[in-house]
Chains A and B, each alone.
Chain A
């Protein structure tokens, strides 16, 4: 497994795709911070009433909060890179060299899964740190105290890593099931982008119906809805029970998808 990992890290080092996408992890947060600076400036100076002045610091907190969702930009970049890099092993036939070098299927699976998680972690960390840096420098943290900022950062980073683990588990599952770059990418995007959006749409539709009928739904109940509950997170005032519910779904789901990937590879015929 160590040898396979060394091979993959060598490939990563030589991969243009990896470095270009990693460059985007630096460029996009900078562009995003500058764009938000411009947009908020325009909004606050607009003659139209937008419901009060928009605080720069609120935007930073919202931005960090978005990292807790698996549909964040870093996860998207990680899915693209992982699909391109690892599916090439199958499309180019080089996966055969790996199997031939007396590696068991479990070792090959383990090594490629570790690489997928590594790519996700690198992209997420880079994107997160640059967002924190650029947003912090350009927009600031608003009225949050230093302790609150530290808490918010740690929490969003930890939840973001778990969300990244979940989105990369989709990639690993499809990688070993369909073994084609485009299909792996598209199917992963469907699960990580479309599925939460659909769940959110359904929940908000139901909430709307409930409000029309004069009934209310408790936040505690909504917190049990998987992939939706992460939207209810408030970094400035974190709810431990809600965080527990988020992890309760995301960690077992990630484990399930990694397991399904293994099932797909275990007896598969390699072309």
Chain B
């Protein structure tokens, strides 16, 4: 059984009457890439702030790596926005981070780290003149300089262009695959998160409302098709043989299936059901997320956390 590297038990943080994080108990195993999903104000950032020691919990407890494994470099994080010394250059920011972590300054390693995140190591410009995307890349480089075992990233792709998002995704996957780094990533971009993470916690109003494993995600990764048909009742009967269906209006119906569209259309035509439109819908994580928020637990799988 894999070792648990992040464990929270009934973690709660209140601000006056507001419960920003409410009784959250999660466990993250070593080597996992875990996505933390939720709307604005769901409590993701507050949970990460507590895990990183920036905010004191009102109640509950957490453990971030066993104490015997903890040292200055084992955990790194980006919380909300890049934390950089704006009046220093990128290289000097990394030098500062090395000093903070108590590691010797190897300029070759620093140069490679900057190149890894797509920054020019010879650039001596002060970081305050960088774009948000460049600052975000540097912030990620800052977290990597100490070669951490656990990386906690709050919206790490904020401000990045599509190429930057793609590059970061590659970096995270390589860190996990090649170095065994455990990642906890919060993001609003579900499509990106679903390409990286193997496990998800969905948060809403301070609570973790569902945990979704990779297997559960695979189970609902079947195509979701929306069909506009002449007779939804008859269509529902026909489509039941292909997978789960859901009637959404007098003319539209969803079907979750891996079957080829041509086969579906043929079956419907054979039963005299006319199809005027067929559309492939969003990804599985988005479906699970929306279902979790609407309280629909049974239709698509996943563990309810309440």
Contact = CB atoms under 8 A, between A and B. Distances in A.
B92 A94 contact: no
Contacts of A97: 83, 97, 100, 142
B54 A269 contact: yes
B53 A99 contact: yes
Contacts of B56: 267, 269
Size category of the binding interface on chain B: 20 to 34
A4 B88 CA distance: 17
A101 B99 CA distance: 11
A3 B100 contact: yes
Instruction: Name, among A3, A15, A93, A100, the residue most crowded by chain B CB atoms within 10 Å (CB to CB).
Output: A100
Interface in B80-94: 80-88, 92
Which one of B54, B75, B96, B100 has the greatest number of beta carbons of chain A within 10 Å? B100
A270 interface: yes
A102 interface: yes
A96 B54 contact: yes
Interface string B61-95: 00000000011111111011111111110001001
Contacts of B75: 100, 102
B86 A14 contact: no
A15 B87 contact: yes
Give the dominant DSSP class at A's interface.
helix
B85 A100 contact: no
B195 to A, nearest CB: 26
User: Size range of the interface on A?
Assistant: 20 to 34
Interface string A81-124: 00000001000111111111111000000000000000000000
Given A93-B81, A100-B77, A10 B99 contact: yes
B70 A10 contact: no
B244 to A, nearest CB: 44
A58 B53 CA distance: 56
Contact of B100 (A15, A92, A98): A98
Contact of A270 (B54, B81, B87): B54
A212 B99 CA distance: 64
B74 A94 contact: no
Interface in A235-271: 267, 269-271
B52 interface: yes
Given A10-B95, A11-B85, A101 B54 contact: no
Nearest to B103: A3
Contacts of B179: none
Nearest to B142: A97
Contact of B55 (A98, A103, A269): A269
A232 interface: no
A6 B73 CA distance: 16
A269 B53 CA distance: 9
Given A14-B92, A269-B56, A101 B100 contact: yes
Residue among A4, A16, A96, A270 facing the most chain B CB atoms (10 A cut-off): A96
A100 B53 contact: yes
B85 A102 contact: no
A108 B77 CA distance: 18
11 contacts: A7-B99, A10-B96, A14-B87, A92-B83, A96-B83, A99-B52, A100-B76, A101-B73, A267-B56, A270-B54, A270-B55
